[in-house]
Amino acid sequence: MDSELRRASSLAQSGRLAEATELYRNILTRSPEDAEATHFLGICLTQSGRRDEGLPLLERSLGLAPQNAMYRQNYGLMLAEAGEIAAAAAQFERLVKADPANATAHNYLGMARQRLGAFDDAIRSYREALRLKPADAAAANNLGYCLLERGDIEGAIGCLRRSLAADAQNPMAHNNLGNALRARGELPGAVESYHRAIALAPGLPNAHHNLALVLRDLDERYAALEAARSAVHCAPDNGAYWQLFADLIAVSRFTAWDAGFAADCERLFSQTEVEVQQCAEAVLSLVRLGPRGRLFLLLLEHAIVADEAFEQEMTALRRELVTSPVSLELCCALAQQCFLNEYLWPELEEETAVVSQRPARTALEIAVRAMYRPLKGIDKPAGANEAFDRMWRRLVEEPGAEAKIEVPVLTPIADAVSRKVQAQYELNPYPRWHRAPGAGPFPLPKLLRSLFPQIDPAKLAAPDAPEILIAGCGSGRHAAITAQMQPLGRVLAVDISRASLAHAMRRCQELGLRNLRFAQADILELGRIEERFDLIECSGVLHHMADPLVGWRVLLSLLRPGGFMKLGLYSELGRTSIVAARELVKGLEVREARERIFALPAAHPARKVATLRDFYTASGARDLILHVQEHRFTIPLLAKAMDALEVEFLGFELVGPRRSMSLEEWDTFEAAAPDSFSTMYQFWIRKP
């Protein structure tokens, strides 16, 4: 039997798993209690993807030979591979208990704990592994990774260098060292580390992705875009890599047709849950240089294109199509664009006449109608094509589902201004979003340390599993991002607008976000709830109240001492052109308002609003220049408010180099660069 076991083992080692499996089974028919055959049959089956059969055999082999450390280690590894991390950790714990000098088992235990998110326990295991075996490159690499997760950059760099001294050929250690150097601000060093990782493992997507991030920090946009492109080529199913690719394309403009890039952009737009809105104009610059093919249709279907000339071209194209609709696919794509912009484009009387008189029974007739109006009271025709089905889903089925959603009510809405603002957002939920911003996990303690490296870490102490309130969540994009970034946190998202909340609930359910609940509530009435929060986010909301400080105070009363608040408030300077536009269009309906702005001479201060994305949807344009209630702040006003509220200012969230400046210095900075906060002042405070 020994020779049979040896033969089965050599078959398994040379990858001939089916033959090895058969041999082990033969042995077990004759000797059902043979531990070795039971164990390795379990391994062969697990490695052939038959975990349900393999794992019980591995467990049984331990029943037959409970002291066999190698069997237990293998069982732990197979459990980990099967995603049963807690069970794997339990096996490694038994191993280290039986033999505390087993360095490998300590390392494996650390890896399991790390995957469970128990970083401090993992760090203890790795330290023990290294105490027992100081040149263990794997344990040093793992420890370096965990220390970095815990914000100990120097400790991480020390460990990663130690790992590389023991084994310079480990691409993951180079990659991790790159991350640590990036966190320390040593960007060229980080680039070098990622290049080393890539030289050792050209197909390591993570290293390409990280390289793209650091090149972006260095403002080397095109090199960053190429690195991000390599990452998506290596791992075409990874949404986070596609998201970075999209973000980097957004700041590019094409000057020549590039079929390779067009193919990558088509793949990008086909990722259902990657946000592509931000790269619409960049992709338009490519589409304009080539044939009006698939990418053009995808662009119309998935992104609001904020471009004046394109709007004119498409308005003219729609006019042609209404009289001679040549292609169902094109009509459907254009209808999707019109749905996204909420039928904002101007139409001539003759178009109105055709649309209102022509029947909408066939797929083509319905698609033509859908280019101008929401589809109501129309039956779906049989036998349409895929483009029509997608259009029907978004234009008919999804709004229908939202209308039926029951939104929980948390407080009444009594305040007169709240009701006025509610009416606006019931009609025009904001923002329009149809694809998920694929935000990866970014635990709050780590996020705070990365945003404010200059602040004493003790001040930034925050729970790994925070209670979070999103106050004024709108149509849910904001809440979805936060819920994705804080997967261990629990998020309550409230808004006054039922329509916005229904959209939010449908989208977040589709995204499978389980740590998030929604309710209709007026911030002004929230003082009555019992819950308290570690983090409150309120962006673009308080400035729509009669007195923003009243709402701000209510929110602070819900924040735990030592808790954090992220706010977004309008800047007086940042909105100069918007204020000028608001003055000009007061009292107008949204289409008239846009016409008035488009008709202004190019040099007019209000004309600039026609370059903003919000100007290209009905809800965005209303939010931008026709809002029923709007306050704006200056930095001295913010300082005064924070003094009165007795909160600590942590800093602004501004893309680019982080600056540890006082509010006075920020005021001078904004005066010199008045567009710095053109979207809003996005900043963080802490409740002492």
Ligand X SMILES: C[S@@+](CC[C@H](N)C(=O)[O-])C[C@H]1O[C@@H](n2cnc3c(N)ncnc32)[C@H](O)[C@@H]1O
Binding site for ligand X (CB under 6 A): 418, 421, 425, 430-431, 472-474, 477-478, 494-497, 500, 522-524, 539-541, 544-545, 623
Q: How far is the CB of 565 from ligand X (least distance, A)?
A: 13
Shortest Å, Cβ 492 to ligand X: 12
Helices and strands counted in the chain (H then E): 34, 7
Mapping DSSP to helix (H, G, I), strand (E, B) and coil, where does residue 56 land?
helix
Q: How far apart are CB 636 and ligand X at their closest, in Å? A: 24
Shortest Å, Cβ 671 to ligand X: 26
Per the listing, tokens 């393999």 go with 54
Please say which residue, 388 or 518, places its beta carbon nearer to ligand X. Answer: 518
Query: Helix 35-47 vs helix 51-64: angle between axes, to the nearest 10 degrees?
Result: 160
Tokens of 108: 């494996």
Of 443 and 474, which has the nearer Cβ to ligand X?
474
**d(Cα 65, Cα 71) in Å, to the nearest integer?**
8
Is residue 290 within 8 A of residue 262, CB to CB? The reply is: yes
Residue 473 C-alpha from the chain's centroid: 16
As measured in angstroms, the least distance from the Cβ of 235 to ligand X is: 30
Please say which residue, 175 or 497, places its beta carbon nearer to ligand X.
Answer: 497
Residue nearest ligand X, Cβ-based: 474
CB nearer ligand X, residue 421 or residue 580: 421
Enter the tokens of residue 554: 């209510």
Minimum CB separation from ligand X for residue 539, in Å? 4
Torsion angle in degrees (nearest 10) through CA of 295, 299, 302, 307: 170
Q: CB pairs under 8 A, 24+ apart, for 372-375?
A: 372/318, 372/322, 372/338, 372/343, 372/347, 373/343, 374/339, 374/343, 374/399
- Output the smallest distance, CB 413 to ligand X, in A: 8
Of 258, 249, 297, 252, give the one whose Cα is nearest residue 276.
249
Nearest to 476 by CA among 440, 447, 435, 443: 435
* C-beta closer to ligand X: residue 430 or 452: 430
Q: What are phi and psi of 686, to 5 degrees?
A: -130, 140
Q: What are phi and psi of 487, to 5 degrees?
A: -65, -25
The residue among 125 and 539 lying less far from ligand X, judged by its C-beta, is 539
Nearer to ligand X, 76 or 437 (CB): 437
Residue (478 or 506) nearer to ligand X, CB: 478
Minimal distance, residue 425 CB to ligand X, in Å: 4
Are the CB atoms for 345 and 655 separated by under 8 Å?
A: no
Closer residue to ligand X (CB): 271 or 497: 497
Nearer to ligand X, 310 or 677 (CB): 677
How far apart are the two ends of the chain, measured CA to CA in Å? Answer: 73
Note whether 555 and 471 are within 8 A (CB): yes
What single string gives the DSSP state of each residue in 210-268? HHHHHHHHTT-HHHHHHHHHHHHHH-TT-HHHHHHHHHHHHT---SS--HHHHHHHHHH
Shortest approach of ligand X to residue 657 CB, angstroms?
24
User: What is the rounded radius of gyration, in angstroms, for the C-alpha atoms of the chain?
Assistant: 29
Shortest separation between residue 467's beta carbon and ligand X, angstroms: 18
